[in-house]
Amino acid sequence: MKNIIVGQSGGPTAVINSSVAGVYKKAKELGVKKVYGMVHGIEGFLKENIIDLDEYLDNEENFELLKRTPSAFLGSCRYKLPVVEGNEEIYEKIFELLDKYEIDTLFYIGGNDSMDTIKMLSDYAKDHNKHQLFMGVPKTIDNDLGITDHCPGYGSACKYIATSLKEIIRDNSSFGVEKPTICIVEIMGRHAGWLTAAASLCKDNDCEGVDAIYLPEVPFDLDKFLNKVKTLAKKKSSVVIAISEGIQTKDGKFVCELNDDDKKVDAFGHKQLSGSASTLANIVAKETGLKTRAIEFSTLQRAATHLASLTDINEAQMVGEKAVEEANNGKTGMMVILVRNDSEEYSCTTDIYDIHNIANVEKKIPLEWIDEKNNYMKDEYIKYAKPLIQGELLPIFKDGVVTHLVRK
Amino acid sequence: MKNIIVGQSGGPTAVINSSVAGVYKKAKELGVKKVYGMVHGIEGFLKENIIDLDEYLDNEENFELLKRTPSAFLGSCRYKLPVVEGNEEIYEKIFELLDKYEIDTLFYIGGNDSMDTIKMLSDYAKDHNKHQLFMGVPKTIDNDLGITDHCPGYGSACKYIATSLKEIIRDNSSFGVEKPTICIVEIMGRHAGWLTAAASLCKDNDCEGVDAIYLPEVPFDLDKFLNKVKTLAKKKSSVVIAISEGIQTKDGKFVCELNDDDKKVDAFGHKQLSGSASTLANIVAKETGLKTRAIEFSTLQRAATHLASLTDINEAQMVGEKAVEEANNGKTGMMVILVRNDSEEYSCTTDIYDIHNIANVEKKIPLEWIDEKNNYMKDEYIKYAKPLIQGELLPIFKDGVVTHLVRK
């Protein structure tokens, strides 16, 4: 490989920059001359908006700071490549720029939609006899990419969710003598409940855990929910319930739509969801007279690098390194996956997989990991997720606040 | 002093337990026999709900864990003592219990309302020739207690706000190429803007900071706000604005009440209540067509002990110790205050002050610390607040999640 380019796309995570670090490190080890970064993904690349990563990462301090920086260091985008037919000029422009900068390989760090970009570009290269290689690097807090055991970004979001919930449970328990407070916490995840399931991870000897967990994989039954809340409120002074933003009733209506039907749609045509917790908190207050509180973790759950999982950071770097290694072996149109070793102690190795079997496929949480009452996670999930939140990479504080690496 | 009792009251903070630690430590140093804790404040005490702190704190590990535990370890309450006249039995009960357990001194950790309890009890003791002493220990994230330079609990909330905002700003900046996203972050503080002012603390070489800060001390002008947002959106791809939950228009209407006519109604015809940030986010979206996001820090800002300020933890312990020391000198009806030393490098000493001049008085942020445009903090505030967020006391992680000390 002579020169390479790396881009980031889709919603950021706490460790997406560790994958950039991995790509850079391995490329330099392999003697790659220039490691370019596309600013704001393929959309920025089309405008020739690129940087030379040597300007930032050619010293250990910045390299360490990059791994502690949330959000896409290179800038992200939500641009989806159109079909080739009728849009040839877009593809021609991309390959023209790759040629101009003598770039052999393009690495794209992202989720489902971003893997579609790798698929489109590698297919185009094959169909048009282009020599460039295209490799996907998995990233998403949603953990909904297929084939890979889990996605870098997921573990850190879980660690934030578990720790913040533990703090919220302590806080919510402080007024035991008064009438119960029902706290409903909304967690990201439109169709897959992976993130909300992490609410189960705060339970331990020093924490009773959340009282119920509602995932989008199971139809939400408002009456059963209200009964559950009423029963809990009779027994406990503090009730904390975790719900996914995407929970829907059995007729397919999002809970947050119980009071709002003109929801906006993002660039990919996804419905913009929010407010399920406040909708439910309002319903509970009106129906039961209980004191309620709605909390949304919002973007904090994907941006809280100060609470990132070291396991996650290491794996994010590892998948970046693997992508470069395999491209160096001539591989293209593949995504790096994490493979969990079949051993007592947790460990993962990396492999690669055909992008055609990954792009645009959404992996849901196995229904058999949800308990019989449909409102808690079974031990199978805990066993799967616990290893992913282990370890810490402490932030570097300056003047009392965490520091980040930012583009000039 | 033979035996003493300590209680916690009002909204919890990230370091309220460090004051319990301080009371316990100094009392043991001074040879106090029993250090009791009242469970759920004076309300629990009236039900004789008390614990012996030796059961928990007589080992260094638990003592350290207590300082890393958010929310009120002893449990809190919002019970306010009524006037003596007509309620003599309540006061008689309290003193009967103090006599029963041979308690000389009662320490109460709290804010304005809790200091009122100390005032009432010390006045009653004086009027009825009771020997017991009553000391107030300041605590509130709101920082609105008079006389003291600042309140323990405030610094840690500021550190959480500054760090989380820095992460939110990074996250919000990731989609630069797309149309701007306006993120409005709601921070606690109904009447005083101390907490919201902390939004100014994230600005540094690696962070442009929030774009505007709106405090409740200044009437909120919706037209000016919308113009500001429109101007920012023309120049920037990411706009992050911090507002206090308590901002009101000049006719005294809370911003969260502004959206009355298009309040959404849920499936049951109930009016939806929403916060100031989501009200403003809705108005901005409607008026400008811009993409908006509302984030509320909610109880996380007072419960995130994992991100507490070491300065704050140390001072919280210090005011607890001082209260015991002064009670040992025979003082009563006083609250411990922090006095900032007039030196180049920040340091605080403790003193005590007559509770009558503190209880029920609310300290607002000086108007001269707010800039001419009424939407940012001047350097005077930064100089005041920066020292309060310095240093970290790292959490103790177990199995990937922070650990706490909890009552059996």
pLDDT, tens digit (0-9, with 9 covering 90-100), for A23-68 = 999 999 999 999 999 999 999 999 999 999 999 998 999 999 999 9
C-alpha B149: how far from its chain's center? 14
pLDDT of residue B176: 76
pLDDT of residue B262: 46
Kindly state the tokens that stand for B92: 């008689």
Residue bearing tokens 């391995």: A26
Q: How many CB pairs under 8 A join A and B?
A: 212
Query: Closest approach of chain A CAs to the CA of B294, in angstroms?
Result: 9
pLDDT of residue B178: 65
Q: Which CATH number fits domain B3-142+307-361+390-402: 2.170.270.10, 3.40.50.450, 3.40.50.300, 3.30.429.10?
A: 3.40.50.450
B61 touches chain A (CB under 8 A): no
Model pLDDT for residues A105-164, shown as the tens digit of each residue: 999 999 988 999 999 999 999 999 999 999 999 999 999 999 999 999 999 999 999 999
Residue A16 backbone dihedrals phi, psi, to 5 degrees: -60, -30
B83 touches chain A (CB under 8 A): no
β-strand partners of A186: A243, A296
B201 touches chain A (CB under 8 A): yes
pLDDT of residue A259: 63
Is the pLDDT higher at A358 or at A207? A207
β-strand partners of A254: A248
Domain A154-303: CATH class, spelled out = alpha beta
Query: Closest approach of chain B CAs to the CA of A86, in angstroms?
Result: 23
Verify whether the Cβ–Cβ distance A40 to B399 is below 8 Å. no
Nearest CA in chain A to B199: A401
Nearest CA in chain B to A302: B171
- In this predicted structure, the answer to whether residue A366 has a pLDDT above a threshold of 70 is yes
pLDDT in tens, chain B (408 residues): 999 999 999 999 999 999 999 999 999 999 999 999 999 999 999 999 999 999 999 899 999 999 999 999 999 999 999 999 999 999 999 999 999 999 999 999 999 889 999 999 999 999 999 999 999 999 999 999 999 999 999 999 999 999 999 999 999 999 875 678 999 999 999 889 999 999 999 999 999 999 999 999 999 999 999 999 999 999 998 999 999 999 999 999 889 888 654 444 444 554 444 689 999 998 999 999 999 999 999 999 999 999 999 999 999 999 999 999 999 999 999 999 999 999 999 999 999 999 999 877 889 999 999 999 999 999 999 999 999 999 999 999 999 999 999 999
Asked, colleague to colleague, whether A3-152+305-361+391-402 and A154-303 share their fold, the answer is yes
A70 touches chain B (CB under 8 A): yes
Q: What is the DSSP string of B39-62?
A: TTHHHHHHTT-EEETHHHHSSHHH
Annotation marks residue B221 as catalytic: no
Kindly state the tokens that stand for A44: 């920025």
> Which pLDDT band holds residue A334 (cuts at 50, 70, 90)?
very high
> Which pLDDT band holds residue A266 (cuts at 50, 70, 90)?
very low
pLDDT of residue B191: 87
Contact list in A for residue B295 (CB cut-off 8 A) is 296, 298-300
pLDDT of residue B260: 53
ipTM of the complex: 0.95
Kindly state the tokens that stand for A66: 């990059």
3-class secondary structure, B176? coil
Amino acid at A89: E
pLDDT of residue A361: 80
CATH architecture of the domain formed by A3-152+305-361+391-402: 3-Layer(aba) Sandwich (3.40)
pLDDT of residue B272: 47
A364 touches chain B (CB under 8 A): no
Helix B16-29 vs helix B310-328: crossing angle, to nearest 10? 40
Kindly state the tokens that stand for A200: 């189960």
Model pLDDT for residues A278-294, shown as the tens digit of each residue: 999 989 999 999 999 99
Domain boundaries, chain A: 3-152+305-361+391-402, 154-303
3-state secondary structure chain A: CCEEEEEECCCCCCCHHHHHHHHHHHHHHCCCCEEEEECCHHHHHCCCCEEECHHHHCCHHHHHHHHCCCCCCCCCCCCCCCCCCCCHHHHHHHHHHHHHCCEEEEEEEECHHHHHHHHHHHHHHHHCCCCCEEEEEECCCCCCCCCCCCCCCHHHHHHHHHHHHHHHHHHHCCCCCCCCEEEEEEECCCCCCHHHHHHHHHCECCECCCCEEECCCCCCCHHHHHHHHHHHHHHCCEEEEEEECCCECCCCCEHHHHHCCCCCECCCCCECCCCHHHHHHHHHHHHHCCEEEEEECCCHHHHCHHHCEHHHHHHHHHHHHHHHHHHHCCCCCEEEEEEECCCCCCCEEEEEEEHHHCCCCCCCCCHHHECCCCCCECHHHHHHHHHHHCCECCCCEECCEECCCCCC
- In this predicted structure, the answer to whether residue A104 has a pLDDT above a threshold of 50 is yes
Verify whether the Cβ–Cβ distance A77 to B402 is below 8 Å. no
Is the pLDDT higher at A191 or at B139? B139
Mean pLDDT value of segment A302-314:
98
Kindly state the tokens that stand for A392: 């810490």
- Report, as residue numbers or ranges, the catalytic residues of A: 142
